[in-house]
Chain A
Amino acid sequence: MTLLLVAGVFGTNASANEYTIGLMCDRSGVTGTIGNLICPGFHDYIRLFNKQNRLPGHTLKVMEIDHGYNVPRGVEAYERFKAAGVMTIALYGTPHTVALTPKLSEDHILGTSPGFGSAAGANGERFPYLFPAAASYWSQVASAVQFIQNNWKGSTQPKIAYIYYDNPAGREPLTIIGDLQKQLGFELQTYAVPAPGIEMRPQVLDITRKFKADWVVAHFFGQTGVALKEFSRMGHPREQMIGLVWAGGESDMKVAGWDKADGYYTVQMAHVGKDHPVNQEIVAMYKAEGKAPPEEMELSVYYNRGVSWAALHSEAIRATVESKGPNITPADVKNAMERINGYSERNFMPPFKMSPQDHEGGGYVRIFQVHDGGFRAASDWMQGYRDVVMKHVVSGE
């Protein structure tokens, strides 16, 4: 066994002009339904990057390890990445991100955790090697409130209900939405849905009949289908509901029924749909190889997140090689990542504005609306109440 381990680690002889990205994935654990969409997107973008020779003379290689959402196996994957000499690591899973954050700083390896970890992780001075690199729950909820404010026609402030799955990630936005409520003066009620979250009729009844909310902000992880069904049963207009990033996948809409979800707004951290040039290029790449386009692209919400995740990693490495030459270290890539300013891969993803303080990249999101069995953009890339969010990022809570 030990022999195998040693062979496995040192057998991967990286050639001089090949840079490796470590990708953690969950294909077999509790979040496998999402991992099986995100990770193929990641691979496809890197393959496209190499095919298009975007980094002349060099190639990128993805080393994926599936940890099954098991923390010790995630830590093992990290050690294997480190032994293989990866340039950057894409961290998958909140407990894994949390457990590995101290190690990243010790080993000076950059790790990104879009959609995972805690919102306070955006503080680059406290966590120098961790890059959430996507809007945190704080930024998402702030953008959601901003979107509601932009679209609210009433003469007084709207009544907003925040309904969330009762886990740390679900509770995380409470501080921000509470602050905004004080600042803007809208009426706010929060509703926790306890595990496993497949029954939420009491909360929905409360929201629609008792509180009579104008707008609903929903924060779910796979329970969205149930929520949409219940709200549609109670006659709450879906045009006055907005879901955070894990509450707006195609499969959720399938569960609810596309007709019942019609009009529902979702907060997104990457482009949705397969019409974007990047998607088209990936399809063309498959076609040139004589293969059918990837099935995963049909569920573009998560697939495209994998694509944008890979794009950010590759851009950081490309920028490093461009400025430093071929001999680079993970610490160089981290510095390059902090200098990324406005890169958006042709508007496929938010215009990331990284800095040594802000590892979130500005916390941009884009709102997409469920329309006619698909999604359509309902806003441009937007930030919401950045000052409020940054105040909390700096204080750390």
Chain B
Amino acid sequence: MLNRETATFKRTYAEDMALYPAPLPRYTILVLLFLFFVVVPLVSSEYTLGVANLLGIASFGALGLNLLVGYTGQISIGHAAFMSVGAYTSAMLVSIMGLHWGLGMIAGGAAAAFLGMLVGIPSLRIKGLYLAISTLAAQLIIEWGINHLPFIPGGAGGSIYMDKPSIFGFQLKTNLSFYYFIYVVLVIGIVFALNLFRTHLGRSMIAVRDRDIAAEIIGINIFKVKLTAFGIASFYAGITGVLYTYYFGVANYEAFTLVVSIQFLAMIIIGGLGSVLGSVFGAVFISLLPIVLDIFLRRVGGEFMEESQIAAITTQIQLMLYGGLIMLFLVVEPDGLRKLWRNITDYFKVWPFPYL
């Protein structure tokens, strides 16, 4: 956040403990909230809101993965599988057992958290790439399970349709109503994550990431911390799956394949490991860039090509640019987009008198 720390005096404990102690970031947050909850919905078209919804859901999922990979240092390539656990749990509870969608949402998160903790058990003994492979196994096992376990319905297509949720009799149908739904959930997720790393548990997670042996020596129960991290990250993943399910009106396992897991890893790596803001940047970058490139190339190509040629060519150029830009950003700033943002804010922290 834009930040100028000079001349902020904390007079009470509450002020000292505030999430944003300095006034400027506080106002920035208020402006951002106003922008996202009042201005954007007012001026945006149905299409822009649809894209914003997808970005919001992706950000939530990336945030969850970052809690595990970026903050606790446990690599997971099974993130999408936990999303599918959330998706199917909620769809089954809501559409087949007729429970309230809110209950379905929490149950979806909880079921994913439970399975995530199970998968996290090997993390006590194995680390790094080995752990990555065991989470890969989880991805494959969960995919197989959804396809083959008899108590999971959905027919041969593996999909469960459900009605879209309604709040106080108002059914969420339009992109606008889902925009509010998704962004309120996202804000809750962000605030929780920001606060988590100001607590004992959050600090322990960072300590485990930085040097697990040292963390154990200073009295941190590594196993408990790692498992909790797996649980929280999977809870986020579960909720992400639930959001996708509610938004699309259907749970389908093919939306949560291994490729999706890897895409979420790409989001947090390019956004910045161990950063809440970075998760959002990364999710937006990875999800929006192909769309923007596609629209841009289509506009440029439309000037001198026929539609059939544009389609064949833009895809190739778009892939090259997409890959190239990812590499470029990582070469320019290996710590991700959040570091770029931080460089900018750091510059303005002392601007216009950097020599003082």
Contact = CB atoms under 8 A, between A and B. Distances in A.
Contacts of A40: 308, 312
Contact of B294 (A30, A62, A65, A120): A65
B299 A103 contact: no
Nearest to A79: B50
A72 B60 CA distance: 14
Contact of B295 (A8, A44, A75, A120): A8
A9, A36, A168, most chain B CB atoms within 10 A: A168
Nearest to A71: B255
Contact of A82 (B46, B147, B155): B46
Given A76-B54, A168-B147, A118 B292 contact: no
B315 A66 contact: yes
B327 to A, nearest CB: 17
B354 interface: no
Interface residues on B, range: 35 or more
A4 B156 contact: no
Contact of A72 (B58, B157, B296, B316): B58
Interface residues on A, range: 35 or more
A62 B308 contact: yes
Interface string A25-53: 10110100000100110011001000000
A68 B323 CA distance: 14
B315 to A, nearest CB: 4
B157 A94 contact: yes
Contacts of A82: 46-47
A323 to B, nearest CB: 27
Nearest to A69: B259
Contacts of B54: 72, 75-76
Contacts of A184: none
A380 B263 CA distance: 46
Nearest to A11: B299
A1 B285 CA distance: 11
Interface string B6-48: 0000000000000000000000000000000000000001111
Contacts of A198: none
Closest 9 CB pairs of A and B: A8-B295, A43-B308, A118-B157, A102-B249, A95-B254, A79-B50, A172-B156, A64-B311, A83-B47
24 contacts: A4-B292, A11-B299, A27-B312, A28-B315, A40-B308, A43-B311, A64-B307, A65-B294, A73-B291, A76-B51, A76-B54, A79-B47, A79-B175, A80-B47, A82-B47, A99-B248, A100-B248, A103-B248, A117-B157, A120-B157, A166-B147, A168-B158, A169-B156, A175-B156
Given A1-B292, A62-B308, A79-B46, 8 more contacts: A4-B296, A7-B299, A39-B311, A70-B263, A79-B51, A83-B45, A95-B252, A168-B156
Interface of A: 1-2, 4-9, 11, 23, 25, 27-28, 30, 36, 39-40, 43-44, 47, 61-66, 68, 70-73, 75-76, 79-80, 82-83, 94-95, 98-103, 106, 117-120, 166-169, 171-172, 174-175, 396-397
